[in-house]
Amino acid sequence: MTTAAVNLPIIDLSSSDSISSANSIRQACIECGFFYLVNHGVEEELFAELFDRSSNFFSLPLEDKLKLSRKHNRGYTALFSENLDFASSSKGDSKESFYVGPLDDPTQSNLNQWPPEDILPSWRPAVESYYRKVMSAGKRLISVIALALNLDEDFFEKVGAMDKPKGFLRLLHYPGELGSTDEEIYGASAHSDYGMITLLASNGVCRDKSKQPRIWEDVLHIDGAFIVNIGDMMERWTNCLFRSTLHRVIPTGQERYSVAFFMDPNDDCVVECLKSCCSEASPPRTCPYKTENLFEREGCPTAHILQDFVCYT
């Protein structure tokens, strides 16, 4: 079931009133796990260039794209090759995508795949520029989220989460007409993101993961704004105070492009219930775990419902 568009707060990352921003983020993350982010430092020209580069890549012949098929969570995934809702009988999601992993750690950046320069000149530097800008915005946002959790703004730096954080950029292409079918097809089927936070564009959210039937709410596009959502890891960190919300993409019959940036701590970071989120009356619901334990199977750093880490109320 789908209802009217949800009214999300707009967080200004350039605001000097960090306490007010933190309070707004706290309320949004408790209620629905989503909010808009503006004045984040990613210029409109860079947005436009990235979408242009994305279009150039996905317009290549399939045989050229398949030469960059995903390995180590980097590279190309073809149309209908993923189904994010394991309970769905769909043949797969009607999207194709391209992943880029961490850039600044040589042991990680060497795993990235790139289209040949003679086919897509200057493609790599444009994508790398966007990646670094969003990573910078994400780090600044994490400081405000720390304040929202009644922590020092440098808390996540002090626990090592922001020491070589893992960021995965995902370029997404949703084709237009898919032909007639009796099967329900999604651009991205219902899922929650596994990590800390995601900066993305999305078509709809479902606040209560356990409720049946699910009630979906539209999230409207705002020019120049990121839609930020909380992931399963942050939900667990906060003892289920902040919501990791189910979301999905519904085909509109029109071709569209989007980009998601999944921001997560490094592999050595230990995720355990924050002291500001537990008490004698509300003890920790989950045990501590090391971030690297979530990377056991290929595909994990994208968007998966990891039932062991999801909080139901």
Amino acid identity of 163? D
Does the pLDDT at position 272 exceed 70?
Answer: yes
Cβ burial 35-61 (10 Å sphere, 16+ → b, else e): bbbeebebeeeeeebbbebbeebbebe
Residue for token pair 């079931």: 1
The pLDDT tens digits for 93-123 are: 788 999 999 998 888 899 999 999 999 999 9
Amino acid identity of 87? A
Which residues face 174 on adjacent strands?
256
The answer to whether 93 and 189 are in contact (CB under 8 A) is yes
Reported as a pLDDT band with limits 50, 70 and 90, residue 81 is confident
The answer to whether 245 and 229 are in contact (CB under 8 A) is yes
Taking all residues of the chain, what is their mean pLDDT, rounded to a whole number? Answer: 82
Predicted structure pTM score: 0.85
Q: Is residue 308 part of a domain?
A: no
The pLDDT tens digits for 209-259 are: 555 556 666 777 788 899 899 988 898 899 989 988 776 777 777 788 889
CB atoms within 10 A of CB 153: 16
pLDDT value of residue 82 = 74
Task: Give me the torsion for CA of 128, 129, 132, 135, rounded to 10°.
Answer: -100
Q: Is residue 304 part of a domain?
A: no
Does the pLDDT at position 206 exceed 70?
Answer: no
Q: Is residue 125 part of a domain?
A: yes
Written as six digits, the tokens of 128 are 């790398």
In angstroms, the CA 262 to CA 134 distance is 10
DSSP 196: S
DSSP 208: -
Which ranges in the chain belong to alpha helices (H)?
Answer: 18-31, 44-58, 62-66, 106-109, 123-148, 155-158, 232-237
Q: Is residue 301 part of a domain?
A: no
pLDDT value of residue 297 = 36
pLDDT value of residue 301 = 39
Identify the weakest region by mean pLDDT among 36-50, 52-66, 148-162, 194-208.
Answer: 194-208
Q: Which residues contact 192 (CB under 8 A, 6 or more apart)?
A: 209, 231, 232, 244, 245, 246, 247, 303, 305, 310
CATH number of the domain residue 55 falls in: 2.60.120.330
Higher pLDDT, 299 or 75: 75
Domain hosting 201: range is: 10-293
DSSP 71: B
Does the pLDDT at position 306 exceed 60?
Answer: no
Which residues face 2 on adjacent strands?
216
Reported as a pLDDT band with limits 50, 70 and 90, residue 10 is very high
Q: Which residues contact 41 (CB under 8 A, 6 or more apart)?
A: 13, 14, 133, 136, 137, 140
Q: Is residue 51 part of a domain?
A: yes
Number of domains in the chain: 1
pLDDT value of residue 275 = 87
